[in-house]
Amino acid sequence: MPKVNCAIYTRKSTEHGLDMEFNSLQNQEEACKAYILSQAFNNWEYYKTYSDGGISGGTMERPGLKTLLNDIRTRKVQVVVVYKVDRLSRSIIDFHKMMQEFDKYGCNFVSITQSFDTSNSMGKLTLNMLLSFAQFEREVSAERVRDKIAASKAKGLWMGGTPPLGYDLKDKQLIPNSQEAELVNLIFNKYLELGNIQATADWINQQGYRSKCWQTASGDKRGGYLFRHGSIQRILGNPVYIGKIAHLALKRVYPGKHKGIIPQEVFEKVQAKLGADKEGLREHRRHIRADTLLGDVLVDERGRPYKLSSGQQGIKVFKYYVIRDGAHLSVGQLDGLVLRTVQNADYADICPRTTAAELSKNEAKTYLERVVCQKIDKECYITIYLKKQAFEAFLEKHLVENPPSGGVYAQIKADSIILKDTFYIDNVSSTRLQNGTANNILTVRQLNESLVRGLARAWQCKKMIVSSMTSREWEKASGMNKRTFARYLNLCYLSPRIVADILEYRNPRNMSLKELMTLASEAVNFEKQEKIWRTE
């Protein structure tokens, strides 16, 4: 009889008690190991333990669970053993998805404290009932916590978490920190002076200020990062600084028990300025949307509209449709792809001897009902819906002797004309589109040549270091003084993930070489570097 590899999965919803010498995860693991040992006559053998501490069972975003599922897919595991069913999942939908994965790869599931047999209908009913109660318990607990938080905030109490810059936490109360309070006042006043969030962040960083430092429950030190656009924006809009507590979910603000550190009139001026900036941004986005072909009609497979984004380099403005996984598709390229698809489609079944080759961009906007873009990995499926009656009238005006064929075939529905096409996303800096319906290459992000040149120069400096050259020879060969030479040299000690992101065009769009050098010099370990990098 072949051996059966048994994997143990353990989970705990909170981090409370995980630092104890013998915690809940270890208790679950020992009980499961004893059960596997009792099944030795079935040739069961312990393979590995997968753990997730401090993560809810209502989500599939768990590192240990993801690793377990990958090992199941590679057929390294034949049986998954858990202490209770709700350790694996507290969501019926997620559990059924996992059971389908288990069945697909021949993996069995065992709960050692709940006896049921899923090979018959009664066992499946029992399992579903257990999961229903587990999900109900999780949802009731979540509602109870949300109600408690809402009631506590209505009384002006601080509900935990890292205290904001300007305050310390003592006996669960916010106490002003005089040194940090001066920095908060400086940020508010500097924003009123400069009138720009990013300029304020840059100035604060240049003065040597860094974000709040604190210590986690496990003793790890956090904070001390550069200020970014988002962090300054959160500070400027936080009513905690005028002695109030905000409940974001309910969109309400309550009087707090703590003391404010920003004058009311200064805070109100900042909010008025922020509101004006937001209105200007909305007007800018309306202008961008009006200048696009798909701005009002592009949606994903669930009907959610895609967002528009823009960036500027010198006098050149880049416009993008923001895909929901973070990728950016060029507005010009995607608009051009859709327009060419409509122009070159085969409309023989609708109106023979016609062509839409002369259709302009402005005309196309009047005929587009909606465009659905579904992205799967690097492949995008696009479905174009045209207003049937209006577009048929357009086609009847464009009769030709020999209409071109070979384009996308048009399908006729009750109220729409449907065109389906496919294109591929490739991480290239080229803006050219290849001809054909299945080989259209769209730029996701452009290469930041400044960062790449900086990395190349850094490794040239590293080669000089390991050679027999003297420091004066380094300066003469590189054309840099010692300080600049050292700043370039620091780039050789960046996290490999950051280097890969830069070379694969996944770097933050506005990151400059100067900021990258600052990151490399101030964040000495890879983990800290990557955390700052991800916040860009």
Domain coordinates in residue numbering, the chain: 4-141, 167-275, 298-443, 449-534
Q: What is the mean pLDDT of residues 474-483?
A: 79
Residues in the chain: 536
β-bridge pairing 79-82 and 108-111: parallel
* Per-residue pLDDT tens over the stretch 481-502: 888 888 888 888 888 888 887 7
Tell me how far CA of residue 480 lies from CA of 484, 489, 515, in angstroms.
6, 12, 18
* Lowest pLDDT segment from 179-183, 224-228, 357-361, 528-532: 528-532
User: Residue 521 pLDDT > 60, yes or no?
Assistant: yes
User: Residue 364 pLDDT > 70, yes or no?
Assistant: yes
Q: What is the mean pLDDT of residues 500-521?
A: 73
DSSP class per residue in 276-331: HHHHHHHHHHHHHHHT-SSTTTEE-TTSPBPEEEEEEETTEEEEEEE-TTS-EEEH
Local confidence band at 425 (pLDDT 50, 70, 90 cut-offs)? low
Q: What is the mean pLDDT of residues 98-121?
A: 77
Give 410's DSSP letter.
P
Q: What was the pLDDT predicted at 442?
A: 42
Residues 6+ apart with CB under 8 A from 126: 116
Q: What was the pLDDT predicted at 404?
A: 65
CA gyration radius, the chain:
30
In the block, residue with structure tokens 């973070």? 326
CATH H-level superfamily of 167-275? Putative Large Serine Recombinase; Chain B, Domain 2 (3.90.1750.20)
Tell me how far CA of residue 355 lies from CA of 132, 293, 416, 529, in angstroms.
57, 20, 18, 56
Q: Is the pTM of this model over 0.85?
A: no
Name which residue leads in pLDDT, 526 or 444. 526
CB 54 within 8 A of CB 13: yes
Spatial separation of the C-alpha atoms in residues 270 and 237, rounded to whole Å: 8
Report the mean per-residue pLDDT for the chain.
80
Q: What was the pLDDT predicted at 422?
A: 73
* Per-residue pLDDT tens over the stretch 316-330: 667 788 765 555 677
Spatial separation of the C-alpha atoms in residues 359 and 339, rounded to whole Å: 8
Q: What was the pLDDT predicted at 419?
A: 86
- Three-state DSSP state, 381: strand
Local confidence band at 443 (pLDDT 50, 70, 90 cut-offs)? very low
Fold that domain 4-141 belongs to in CATH:
Rossmann fold (3.40.50)
Q: What was the pLDDT predicted at 189?
A: 93
* Per-residue pLDDT tens over the stretch 242-293: 989 888 777 888 888 889 999 999 999 999 988 887 777 667 666 666 678 8
Instruction: Classify the C-alpha dihedral 17-18-21-24 as positive or negative.
Output: positive
Give 83's DSSP letter.
S
User: Residue 444 pLDDT > 70, yes or no?
Assistant: no
**Residue 138: CA atoms inside 13 Å, Cβ hemisphere, count?**
20
Q: What was the pLDDT predicted at 323?
A: 64
Q: What is the mean pLDDT of residues 26-37?
A: 90
CB 401 within 8 A of CB 353: yes
Local confidence band at 534 (pLDDT 50, 70, 90 cut-offs)? low
In the block, residue with structure tokens 């059966």? 4
Q: What is the mean pLDDT of residues 228-240?
A: 90
Q: What was the pLDDT predicted at 279?
A: 74
For residue 30, how far is the Cα from the chain centroid? Answer: 37
Spatial separation of the C-alpha atoms in residues 95 and 450, rounded to whole Å: 47
Question: What percent of the chain lies above the pLDDT cut of 70?
Answer: 82
What beta strand segments (E) does 97-205 contain? Answer: 108-111, 167-170, 173-176
Token code pair at residue 254: 């309550």
Local confidence band at 431 (pLDDT 50, 70, 90 cut-offs)? very low
Q: What is the mean pLDDT of residues 412-424?
A: 79
User: Residue 417 pLDDT > 80, yes or no?
Assistant: yes
